[in-house]
Amino acid sequence: MPDSDDFKIPREQERLHEILVKVVGHQHSLPDGRAVELEELERNGILARDDMAFLTAHSVTYKPHRISDFHALDMFHMPTDDGGCVFIGPGGPPLTKRSALLAVFAPLVDSFLRLPRPQDELLLHIEFTEHDGMGVAPEMICFTLRSADWRQRLPAIRSVAAEFGFHPFQDEEVQSSWSLSFRIAPNVAHTAAAVVALLSRGCGFTDETEVTYSAGALDEA
């Protein structure tokens, strides 16, 4: 049985979370929950001198967000010693679930990826089950599959992705789920066609399958 220490959150991430709590607590005290610049947080004593020193020492970047933003999980970004990174921010309100038949899903993906929003705010969530799903962004398509039944679809998903010229940069188990991610060229029409092919030939959907999807950019539109 794994040692419980294997699952302990690194102290640096705990410290970053403590700073996040201070920022979000301050935002909740404001009448409009507006985004607050780092300089204002320091000037008003919301963040102490040692908080600011921690952010500097760990090369943390801060991106102001409103409390109501659906895409605020990148409020803080911190590089890690293993070459990775940590994103942390308020979860925001729950996303509105929408549905559409696969037969008409391609133009929905196309129009979503053309929304006049920053690229990092265009993330379409496609839900298979509570623990299995797919994400689509302008330059990435990813799958998170926990259940055994959905993991059996991995070879078919890889095969369809290869037909569209997509090659995985992540293909491994992460925290009890299989993570399969592809970097893609920012070609909206090509991506929309690939998404439908991945759902049909990769995931076994038919034209009559209801696709459940959600996106913060749609809720804020």
- For residue 8, name the pLDDT band (cuts at 50, 70, 90): low
85-90: long-range contacts, CB 8 A cutoff, minimum separation 24: 86/13, 86/16, 88/13, 88/16, 88/17, 88/20, 89/20, 89/63, 89/65, 90/20, 90/24, 90/65
Segments making up each domain of the chain, as ranges:
4-88, 98-219
The mean pLDDT value for 157-166 works out to: 97
For 11-52, write each residue's pLDDT tens digit: 898 999 999 999 999 998 998 889 999 999 999 999 999 999
- 98-219 architecture in CATH? Alpha-Beta Complex (3.90)
Supply the pTM of this predicted model: 0.69
